[in-house]
Each structure stands twice: as C-alpha cells, then as structure tokens.
Amino acid sequence: MAGSTLGKNFTITTWGESHGEALGVVIDGVPAGLELCEQDIQEFLDRRKPGSNPLSTPSKEDDTARILSGVFEGKTTGTPISVMVMNTSQKSADYSEIASYYRPGHADFTFDSKYGFRDYRGGGRSSGRETIGRVAAGAVASKILKELGISVEAYTSAIGPISADLSGYSRELVLSLPTAMPDKNANDLAMEYVAKTREQYDSVGGVMECRINGLLAGIGEPVFNKLDAALSGAVMSIGAVKAVEIGDGIAVSKSLGSENNDEFCIKEGKVSKKTNHSGGILGGISDGSEILVRAHVKPTPSIFKPQNTVNKDNEEISVQIKGRHDPIIVPRAVVVMESMCAITLLDLMMSNMSSTLEGIKRFYL
C-alpha cells in the first residue's frame, strides 16, 4: 500500500488534508454485532479537538463525525465503516505565503521533493488533522477491546522538564486536565512552563505513555509482527514522535541481566512476574503483564520566533510564521497514541485466533 492503509485483519485507511473538503477513515474488518453510534467516535475526536484549553489554538472546526456506512440499526454489519469529518472553517488565504518557502521542522520540503509539489494549505496531508481518521478508528477498536475486558489508556507523562507523578493515576484526571497528565500538580507547573515559553514565541516537547491492561499472554507474532514492533511502528507513524520505548526502554542498555530479567512467580494460581521491566512483552508476545509504551514528542515546529530558511527559488530568507499554533503537541496527541495502540493490538488479536489447531477446531467444530 502507498501508506494510508494499516493492518491486516482490522484495517484502517485514512484520507484527507488539513484544508481539503473533509477528512476521514474507512475501517474494514470491524466484527459484526458491535453497538456503535456517532457519539462513540465523537468522544474520542473531542479529545483531540483544538481550542478546548489554553494549550491549544482556538479554532472554528468542530470536528463532527458522521458514520456513512457499515452500521445498520445501531450495530456494525461487518462491512467497512466510513467515517467523515467535514472541514468547516477552511481559510486558504491564510496560507498563501507559506506556499513559497519551506518551514523549518515541517514536511514542506520533503513533500515537494517526493511529489514535485504539495498542498501547502496548513500542511495538507502532513497536518496533525490527518490523525482525525486514526482517532475515529481508535474509538471503534477501543470499544471492541473494552468488550474483551481490555483497557488502553494513554496520558502525558512529561512536558519539557516537568514529569508527572503517576502514583495518583486516575483516568478521570487524564481526561479532565488540559495537559492530559494524571497529576494535578505537574499539570499546573506544566501549564505555567508552556505559557512562559509561548510568551517567548517558542514551543515545547513532551512524553506520553500508553498502558494496556487486561490482555492475556500470547498476543503478537514472532519475528516481524512482534507486538512491540507493531506498536513501535504504529506510534512512530504519529507525526512529531521521535522515539518509542517499551517497558524500561532506553534504561535497559545500562542495566544488568540480573536486574532486567523479570522473575516468574505464581500469583493466584497463575504464572505471573515479580517485576515488569519487559513492559509486558517477551519475544514479541504479550506475557500477561501490563503493556507499557512510551513516546517522545518534539516541540511544535510552528514557532513565532524569526527563523532562517529557503524559498522555492533556492534563496535563503528569514521568516516569521503567523497564524494559530499550539505551543505543544502532546496533550492532543495522547488520544492519537491511545488509538494507534488499540488499533494495532486488536489487529494482532485477530491474527492470533488461528495460531493453534485446537483454537480453530474450537471455533469451527
């Protein structure tokens, strides 16, 4: 595929540009019989919607999801679900200047290099708005996983130098605080830090984490479709993510085998682990512990400080980007990470159904 389709059994195909008519996704492989309505998807989309707090730009886009196919009498039919969000407040005029030069940190130059030209309005296909389709699909995947007793929860763990204390973790905090941190104190410090940076016409990066619970051992395929490999590829495909860690992540390189190995034990009659340095994955397959994925996100490339760059006539120029731009990407990207993890996991769970002859027989006989 040319890159807009992901998955093998649960397959999503996203489309749309920042300032085109609409954006959307076709979700194929959704099992029949799931209760689904537009509100299920809207709840996810609202978490990435701009303008809801001081960390994100006010915008007139209300990002309303419409389900165009695949749902009948309130239930999924097993056929592809097409979800569309109209772009209601396109103002192409704002972007005429950007067309002439390459914004540092953006994909303007690389799109031009690849395709010969680009839709320069708001980043076109490389805009953060491309993730609308991912999030709509994530809402569906998450709902299915929930039916199987599996939770997928992402949150902001750090903004610039400020890290969240996870000891008081609650989903409610994540969903209610503007930073999507599960820590009110860190949230407040981060809000202050971001505000100060913004005043200096600059932007900040951050870290987000996703935890999967309720997953049995055995999910993931050895070799290339390892659960961690699939999750990493999926999370790294989110614009602005520059590093992905599983479990202890980068810390393993300084660890000793005796520290990093998780000893097995028996808990409530079941094989369990005393620690979880592995982040719930061994040999690319879930080990029954919590899955932990961490992603490092770069600062918003659109800053208001003057920057040097080049224009399409190969001249060096100085530019100052205008418009509305979030000073940080992370809080709105949290639901995108959550979505990508849910989509990836569900697809691997579907693949796993034919792993043993006994399982196939149990299903068909």
Q: Which parts of 126-155 interact with a copy of itself (CB under 8 A)?
A: 126, 130, 144, 147-149
d(CA 27, CA 349): 16
Nearest-approach distance from CB 131 to a copy of itself, in angstroms: 9
Q: Taking CB under 8 A as the rule, which mask of x and - marks residues 15-54 in contact with a copy of itself?
A: xxx--xxxxx-x-xx-xxxx--------------------
User: CA separation (Å) from 292 to 103, 153, 306?
Assistant: 34, 10, 39
Q: If you search the block for the tokens 């999750």, which residue do you land on?
A: 231
Between helix 330-352 and helix 38-48 the angle, nearest 10°, is: 140
User: Are the beta carbons of 363 and 235 closer than 8 angstroms?
Assistant: no
User: CA separation (Å) from 199 to 71, 191, 297, 329?
Assistant: 47, 12, 21, 17
Please report, as residue ranges, which positions from 293 to 312 form the binding site for a copy of itself (by CB under 8 A): 296-303, 305, 307-310
Please report, as residue ranges, which positions from 108 to 127 form the binding site for a copy of itself (by CB under 8 A): 109-111, 113-119, 121, 124-126
Residue in 39, 93, 167, 266 binding a copy of itself, rule: CB under 8 A: 266
Residue 96 is a binding residue for a copy of itself (CB under 8 A): no
Span near a copy of itself by CB under 8 A; candidates 37-45, 57-65, 182-190, 266-274: 266-274
Nearest C-alpha neighbor of 122 from the set 89, 98, 88: 98
Residue in 61, 237, 276, 290 binding a copy of itself, rule: CB under 8 A: 237
d(CA 320, CA 104): 11
DSSP output for 196-215 = HHHHTT--B-EEEEEEEESP
Between 188 and 221, whose beta carbon lies closer to a copy of itself?
221
CA atoms lying within 13 Å on the CB side of residue 323:
17
Please report, as residue ranges, which positions from 154 to 173 form the binding site for a copy of itself (by CB under 8 A): 158, 160-161
Q: If you search the block for the tokens 């061994």, which residue do you land on?
A: 282
d(CA 296, CA 159): 10
Neighbours of 289 (CB within 10 A): 22
Q: What are phi and psi of 151, to 5 degrees?
A: -110, 140
Span near a copy of itself by CB under 8 A; candidates 37-45, 56-64, 164-172, 250-258: 250-258
Between 175 and 310, whose beta carbon lies closer to a copy of itself?
310
d(CA 83, CA 228): 28
* Binding-residue total with a copy of itself (CB under 8 A): 170
Nearest-approach distance from CB 353 to a copy of itself, in angstroms: 4
Contacts of 108 (CB under 8 A, 6+ apart): 98, 101, 102, 118, 120, 123
Any idea how long the chain is?
365
Between 170 and 200, whose beta carbon lies closer to a copy of itself?
200
Nearest-approach distance from CB 195 to a copy of itself, in angstroms: 14
Residue in 50, 80, 122, 128 binding a copy of itself, rule: CB under 8 A: 80
Between 124 and 182, whose beta carbon lies closer to a copy of itself?
124
What does the DSSP 8-state code read for residue 57? -
Nearest-approach distance from CB 332 to a copy of itself, in angstroms: 15
Residue 323 is a binding residue for a copy of itself (CB under 8 A): no
Between 30 and 45, whose beta carbon lies closer to a copy of itself?
30
Span near a copy of itself by CB under 8 A; candidates 41-49, 53-61, 73-81, 175-183: 73-81
Residue in 37, 265, 320, 322 binding a copy of itself, rule: CB under 8 A: 265
Residue in 44, 197, 332, 335 binding a copy of itself, rule: CB under 8 A: 197
Residue in 54, 57, 58, 68 binding a copy of itself, rule: CB under 8 A: 68
